[in-house]
Amino acid sequence: MSVQKNVFQAMSGALKPAKVPCVLIGGFALNHYQVARQTQDVDFLITTEGYAKLKPALRKAGYREEFNRKLFARLVHNQGDKLDISVASLGDAKS
């Protein structure tokens, strides 16, 4: 199974039950608009609250955090697939 398929299946399986919205960003988002870009990971934008809800399901799917910063987390599957999460706080959008 391809890296992309693994990542998208894991995210879909985690997002639906948790009812967490996210946005596909990065190379795969560009590919949708027919802008070719080679990438070795899949990137999503999600809220801090949403990411907290997803972590248990992603762990269950075989992903572990390689590192986690305030606004960014990289998860790696035990087969090497990489998943990047850019985090936005709902509080950041308020003025």
Entry field: residues in the chain: 95
At residue 10 the predicted structure's pLDDT band, cuts being 50, 70 and 90, is confident
Tell me, what DSSP letter sits at residue 54?
H
- DSSP per-residue string spanning 3-50: HHHHHHHHHHHHHHHHT---EEESHHHHHHTT-----SSEEEEEEHHH
The whole model's pTM is what? 0.79
Main-chain dihedrals φ then ψ at residue 42, nearest 5 degrees = -120, 135
The model's pLDDT over 43-71, given as tens digits with 9 standing for 90+, comes to 999 999 999 999 999 999 899 999 999 88
Separation between Cα atoms, residue 85 and residue 43, nearest integer Å: 6
